[in-house]
Chains A and B, each alone.
Chain A
Amino acid sequence: MIGLTHYLIVSAILFSIGLVGVLRRRNLLMLFFATEVMLNAVNIAFAAISHYYNDLTGQMFAFFVIAIAASEVAVGLGILIVLYKKNGSIDLDDLVSMKG
């Protein structure tokens, strides 16, 4: 039987994959993908826990996360395209203009 624990483990694994992606990747587009993976890991956890407690709030929250992630990606990709047009690169190591 697949229980809450399994879902949470999947969610944790996915989140870790996303986190490693965020930390290791240098390509801005890959960074976006990694963030999406993390967000969806959280969504899985939401949905699973919501089902476990018989409370719809969690699932509703997951919908909100999806909606906001979609708009964030829309805006983010827009910025990304502008950046690419300006610098000819979306590699983070090339975008070092705010050195302290």
Chain B
Amino acid sequence: MENLIYIALFAPLVSSLFAGVFAMSPRATFVGVISSILLLVSFFASAQLAYFVYSTNAVIHTTMMPWIMAGDFFVEFGFVVDHISVTMMTVVTLVSTVVHIYSIGYMDHDKSFNRFFSYLSAFVFSMMVLVMSDNFLGLFIGWEGVGVCSWLLIGFWYHKPDVSRDENPSISPSWAANEAFIMNRVADLGMLIGIFILYWSVGSLKYDVVFATLPHLSETVLTTAALALFIGAMGKSAQFPLHTWLTDAMEGPTPVSALIHAATMVTAGVFLVIRANPLFAMTPEVSFFIAGLGTFVAFFAASMALVNRDLKRIIAFSTLSQLGYMFAAAGLGAYWIALFHLAAHAFFKALLFLGAGNVMHAMHDELDIFKMGGLKKYMRWTYIYMGVASLALAGIPVFAGFFSKDAIIETAFNEEAYVLWGMLVVTAGMTAFYSFRQVFLTFAGVPRYDTHHLHPHDMYRYVLIAMSPLALLAVFAGFFKEEFEAFVTHLLPSYHMSEHTHHLVGLLTVIVLGFAIGGIYLAYKKYYNGLKRDEKCENSFIYKLLVNQYYIPHFYEEFIAKPYTMISQKLWQEVDMKIVDAIVDAIAYFFYNSGDVTRRMQTGNLSHYLNWMAAGTAVLLLAAVLFA
């Protein structure tokens, strides 16, 4: 079994190093093929481990080597394969494999093809470290690793110049990459503090040890640690107020958005909350804060998606919104439902993004859905895929999203958090509306693009076939809900609806479905037969507010970035140049000048040297006499 663990973990690393060797050479298809094969190997190993854990209920611990030994501080490179991590491993490697194969087609014309695969596989490796580690420090290393890979991949087309915010809200790939990295760094400080607090009060970083010691810790320590860890999760999962980076991260190539900014990395925050569930279960205030924030973000992000015109940004907002749902579930104590939604979401959201990639490919990188339309004739398979994914996202029965999202909304009702419940229900309606607004504007109606120059065609066949596993899972994953529950609740606390909720389940489902179908119907009415622009609506205050993302990016620019730049300028000119630099320069000048003065001792006359020597000896003798 240990071998399988190492194969699952290190196959992506080997793939990354292999592709890295060819980073500087011209595009070579075999690099992509071999990377994909290695990822497939990793997936098979993970699937086999999943089967092993499923059939034997065993938890595998393995220690690769000791890592840090400094006094009492001792950490090992240890990995744990249990019900939670094996679920994550399977989801991550499956989506990664699909995305790798997809990228062979999507990045076909890019001259940095090989480099792309190197980064992508490196990301998968970091993600595997993150989910498999058996201690907080290993998790943190993976956490930072995915951050770095995300930075590399968002800024993959770093040569694009900066443009104004009105022209492109994310300014440029390198700007977006830096924004994502810096925002995550802010949140990571919180996470580090959380880890420090846990180490300080427990004396170990191993999950098992930490969770076993929790009942002996004071409430203040628990609350602070939980809150600090959650701040880290907020950054990685782009929760308000650290959410702006996620939509800007869409500057990266679309496979990256599918893999990192939809299916895997951004769910790391949810994973952390699920992994540390004993801690969060003991801190009800923090948990309720998580649920409240999650619900708020679900609603808040969905509202921005309603009016956005950018194909990828709409999906990014919906990712944000769905992450909010996951946090709502985790915060309300339904950890297994959060994990279930995480997995289901990974499948249909990756599918949706890859579909969007196909559309971009056909439209020559045009992203404005107002300039598309009528694509279903040319791109039948992509239409089906995106339709399926959107149905799943909207939570229509049979599709995966229905089972997971409905369960979350029920949980909110069951916990008697009726405000949260109401918001989540309304959000479900909004989700359905914006998903189908996007699908209809892209695929239905008449073409609004330049039909003389653009002749859209679907992606390569092998790419479409590679996407099919995701489509199948987006449709069927929901049917495994009970098996999934039985599987993960070996480790996670089980969650049952009360009798009262149980009686109302039918009614609740109907309400949610009513909102979802209402949303789809509205989108159908408004957009299926082409785009009719409503000037009055587009000039209204709310529309403008939503289009500008509640002016939060502007707010950050004006009240954080600009003052910070100003303070930095001042500190540079006043403190750095006039104090720090001046001191260093003074020391240098002192030595330079003293050398210049003492240079005159060197007359070339032996007699003078002898005099100096005698004087020196005399001084030394004097010193010896005085201080001995």
Listed in ascending order, the chain A residues whose CB lies under 8 Å from chain B are: 19, 22-23, 25-26, 92-93, 95-100
A19–B602 contact, CB under 8 A?
no
* A22 close to B614 (CB less than 8 A): yes
Q: How far is the CB of A95 from chain B (nearest CB, A)?
A: 7
List the B side residues contacting A26 at CB < 8 Å: 607
In the complex, which residue of chain A has the Cβ closest to the Cβ of B606? Answer: A92
Nearest-neighbor residue (CB-CB) of A100 within chain B: B602
Task: List which B582-628 residues lie within 8 A (CB) of chain A.
Answer: 599-607, 610-611, 614
| Nearest CB in chain B to that of A26: its residue | B607
Could you tell me the distance between the alpha carbons of A95 and B604 in the complex, rounded to whole angstroms? 8
A100: chain B residues within 8 A (beta carbon):
599-604
Query: What is the interface residue range for chain B against chain A?
Result: 10 to 19
Which B residue's beta carbon lies closest to that of A22? B610
Residues of B within 8 A of A23 (CB): 607, 610-611, 614
Neighbouring A residues of B606 by C-beta, 8 Å: 92, 95
**Chain B residue contacts of A25, Cβ below 8 A:** 607
Which 9 residue pairs spanning A and B have beta carbons closest together? A100-B602, A99-B604, A96-B604, A98-B604, A92-B607, A92-B606, A96-B605, A23-B611, A100-B599
Chain A to chain B contacts (Cβ below 8 Å), 21 pairs: A19-B614, A22-B610, A23-B611, A26-B607, A92-B605, A92-B606, A92-B607, A93-B607, A95-B605, A95-B606, A96-B603, A96-B605, A98-B602, A98-B604, A99-B602, A99-B603, A99-B604, A100-B599, A100-B601, A100-B602, A100-B604
Q: Which residues of B contact A97 (CB under 8 A)?
A: 604
Chain B residues in 8 Å Cβ range of A22: 610, 614
Nearest A residue to B605 via CB reads A96
Closest Cβ of chain B: how far from A89's Cβ, in Å?
13
Q: What residues of chain A lie closer than 8 Å to B601, measured between beta carbons? A: 100
In this complex, the member of B600, B602, B610 whose beta carbon has the largest number of chain A beta carbons within 10 angstroms is: B610
Identity of the chain A residue whose Cβ is nearest the Cβ of B601 in the assembled complex:
A100
A99 to B603, CA, bound (A): 5
Chain B positions within 8 Å of A98 at CB level: 602, 604
Shortest Cβ distance from A93 into chain B, in angstroms?
Answer: 6
| B615 → A minimal CB distance (Å) | 9
- Chain B contacts of A96 at CB under 8 A? 603-605
Neighbouring B residues of A99 by C-beta, 8 Å: 602-604
Q: Closest approach, in angstroms, between the C-beta of B621 and any C-beta of chain A?
A: 12
Measured between C-beta atoms, what is the minimum distance from A46 to chain B in Å? 19
With a cutoff of 8 Å between Cβ atoms, the chain B residues found around residue A95 in the complex are 605-606
Query: How distant is the Cα of A19 from the Cα of B610 in the complex, in angstroms?
Result: 10
* Cβ–Cβ < 8 Å partners of B614 in chain A: 19, 22-23
Q: How far is the CB of B347 from chain A (nearest CB, A)?
A: 79
Give Cα distance in the complex from A98 to B611, angstroms: 17
Q: Nearest chain B CB to A35's CB is how many angstroms away? A: 10
- Closest CB-CB distance, A100 to chain B, in whole Å? 3
Chain B 308-339 against A: per-residue CB contact (8 Å), 1 yes, 0 no? 00000000000000000000000000000000
Q: Which residue of A lies closest to B602 (CB)?
A: A100
Q: B617: nearest residue on chain A (CB-CB)?
A: A19
Name the CB-closest residue of B to A28.
B606
What is the CB-to-nearest-CB distance from B595 to chain A, in angstroms, rounded to a whole number?
A: 11
**Shortest CB distance B516–A (Å):** 90
Closest to B603 in A: A99
